[in-house]
Structure 1
Amino acid sequence: MAIITNRPLGAGISATTVLAGMVGRIAAWNDARVTRKALSQLTDRELDDLGLVRGDIDMIAEGRHR
């Protein structure tokens, strides 16, 4: 099957690509915020049951833990 288009492939960044990137970054930020809030509300004992300490919360929220 052939595809005919008026623009060359890879002709730059479209508004859709920019918008999708922004939405993705906002969604990731919100997920990290929700995770950080939920973990922050746990007691030190509950965090210990999960094998975590309070200092791990930011790394977990950002997806950088282990």
Structure 2
Amino acid sequence: MATFDQFRSVVPAPRGFFANLLAAALTWSDRRGTVRALRALTDRELADIGLTRGDVEEMAHRR
């Protein structure tokens, strides 16, 4: 317990760390869902929206 208290007083948590962590996790989850949904489409369905199988990862990582 003393080690934890000592470490905590020396290295404070940066402001917004947990907010940034949560935002990163949500972004990752959204991208993962997008990739999953696009991969579930057939080649014909992808062609209808102007994509190919090779475009799936790129589209998921666009901002």
TM-score, scaled relative to structure 1: 0.72
**Higher relative helix content:** 2
Between the two proteins, the alignment pairs up a number of residues equal to 51
CA distance in 1, matches of 2:50, 2:21: 34
Q: Establish whether residue 22 from structure 1 lines up as the match of residue 21 from structure 2.
A: yes
Q: CA deviation at 1:63?
A: 1.1
Percent identity of the aligned residues? 42
Task: Kindly indicate whether residue 33 of structure 2 is the aligned counterpart of residue 34 of structure 1.
Answer: yes
Task: Give the superposed CA RMSD.
Answer: 1.5
TM-score by length of 2: 0.75
